[in-house]
Amino acid sequence: MSHQLESYQDEIYLTGMTGSVPDFPTDLSRLGEAARAVMTPEAYGYVAGSAGAEDTARENLEAFRRWRIVPRMLTDVSTPSYASTVLGTELTVPLLLAPVGVLSIAHPDAELAVARAAAALRVPMILSTAASTAMEDVAAANGDGQRWYQLYWPKDRAVAASLLGRAQAAGYSVLVVTLDTRILAWRPRDLARGYLPFLNGIGIQNYVSDPAFQASLSGVADGAAGGGGSDAAVLRWTQIFGDSSLTWNDLPFIRQHWNGPVVLKGILSASDALRAAAAGLDGIIVSNHGGRQLDGAIGALDALPAIAEAVGSRLAVLFDSGVRGGADILKALALGARAVMIGRPYVYGLALGGEAGVRHVLRAFRQDFELAMRLSGLAGLGDVGPDCLQRQPGAGLR
């Protein structure tokens, strides 16, 4: 395990001796800057942008900076292992790919490139309902990789049930239900350009490939639209995308149509986490959607400790929002997460180099995490806890 995890660093240094340097940034905080140079302004703004003044997005990053790692010396980290199993999914390191939609705006190979890279590096991917590639095609590209499916719960229950059935048939093992995007937020970067990919038929491929969705199109005016969807399909998508009437009482519908673990994404309060546990869910993802939905919301990492304390013994608590390097993964684990997801970084890798770019980001994150753990004196995940961190003086809990 140690040799495998060290290999990417060794590979870079060895190729450097021949005069070669990496094709992609090794400073993971610069991935976005590099990707901006190769993406269209509309695409970059959509991926990088957040809601409102983007205060929540900044708060996600600042929340990580408020916690500092306290390394331990003279511990044996010569043969570390950071493998675990979460909801039946085997993790080489506690890292998954967060669901991100419309990936064809970043690279023409889109979700297929991500699926191949994830399978090759044994990192589970979570496919978005808003993917620009049909779920069956992504599953084929992912092969024997591990994959979860994320549902944006549509108003049309027949379409929802059909999407869930297709995902199970295609080998997606865990369902992630996103709670915080029943309506789209005010996103100034997109609004300034009048840009929403879905209205160009991008990101509705799981809908247009769905028989229940197609059946619902009867009587809707048709016409041409870009990205593989007709005007009728786009119009129908706008009518059913989100359901703002959903409540906790609607969750039994999911259990009726999904045979496997169910995770709720977007939990930021301990009270909601306790309701999820009482409702019999299998896990939650502490997330504010990367700051893309509610501006002024609590930083996701600041929400994590209370939630983990409340339900960590009853639910699989996962984390998303603001992870930009290996030390961030360590911090989230120390504050109670069992695994962590990355989103924007791998999208930037996709934009920079397709499958090769995604592979670079995954290898770099895994290497950076493993080194952060070893340099902190932590040989296994069981060694990680709140005592590994210290809150910066003056950084009070919010």
Which of these, 219, 259, 224, lies nearest to 239 by C-alpha position? 219
CA proximity to 385, closest of 348, 331, 342: 331
pLDDT tens figures, 380-389: 999 999 999 9
pTM here?
0.94
**pLDDT score of 397:** 44
Planar angle of CA 156, 160, 166, nearest 5 degrees: 145
| Coil vs helix vs strand at 25 | coil
Closest CA to 24 of 358, 328, 304: 358
Tens digit of each residue's pLDDT (9 = 90 or more) over 311-357:
999 999 999 999 999 999 999 999 999 999 999 999 999 999 999 99
C-alpha to C-alpha distance for 127 and 175, rounded to whole angstroms: 10
Q: Residues for the chain: how many in total?
A: 398
Q: Is the pLDDT of residue 208 over 70?
A: yes
Q: What is the pLDDT of residue 3?
A: 41
With contact defined as beta carbons under 8 Å apart, do 181 and 108 qualify? no
Residue 257 catalytic? no
Helices (H) and strands (E) in the chain, counts: 16, 12
113: pLDDT strictly greater than 80: yes
Please tell me the distance from the alpha carbon of residue 367 to that of residue 32, in angstroms, as a whole number. Answer: 19
Determine how many CB atoms are found less than 10 A away from the CB of residue 69.
Answer: 17
- Can you give the pLDDT at residue 123? 98
Q: Where are the alpha helices (DSSP H) in the chain?
A: 2-16, 31-36, 41-48, 55-65, 110-120, 135-142, 157-169, 188-193, 205-208, 211-215, 231-240, 252-257, 270-278, 300-311, 326-334, 344-375
> In terms of C-beta density within 10 A (0-12 exposed, 13-18 middle, 19 or more buried), how is residue 185 classed?
middle
266 φ, ψ (degrees, to nearest 5)? 115, 15
Catalytic choice (3, 107, 257, 289): 289
Q: Supply the pLDDT for residue 395.
A: 56
* Averaged pLDDT of the chain: 94
- Report DSSP state, residue 291: G
pLDDT at 224: 40
Instruction: Convert 97-112 to b/e letters by CB count within 10 Å (16 or more is b).
Output: bbbbbbbbbbbebbbb
The answer as to CATH 3.40.50.2300 being correct for domain 25-185+246-387 is no
Amino acid at site 322: G
Q: What is the pLDDT of residues 102-111, one digit of tens each?
A: 999 999 999 9
Question: Residue 125 to residues 96, 161, 324, 327: CA-CA distances in angstroms?
Answer: 6, 22, 17, 21
Determine the Cα–Cα distance for residues 109 and 95; give it in Å rounded to an integer.
23
Q: Which helix (H) or strand (E) holds 339?
A: strand 339-342
Spans of all domains in the chain? 25-185+246-387
Angle at 65 between CA 62 and CA 66, to 5 degrees: 90
Residue with tokens 């639209």: 225
Residue from 368, 309, 344 nearest 69 by CA:
368
On the question of pLDDT at 4 being above 80, the answer is: no
pLDDT of residue 218: 80
CA 244 from centre of chain: 22
> Which H/E stretch holds residue 317?
strand 316-319
**What are the residue ranges of helices labelled H in 262-299?**
270-278
Instruction: Give the residue among 172, 148, 164 at the shortest CA–CA distance from 254.
Output: 164
For position 220, what pLDDT does the model report? 63
Nearest-Å Rg of the Cα atoms of the chain is 21
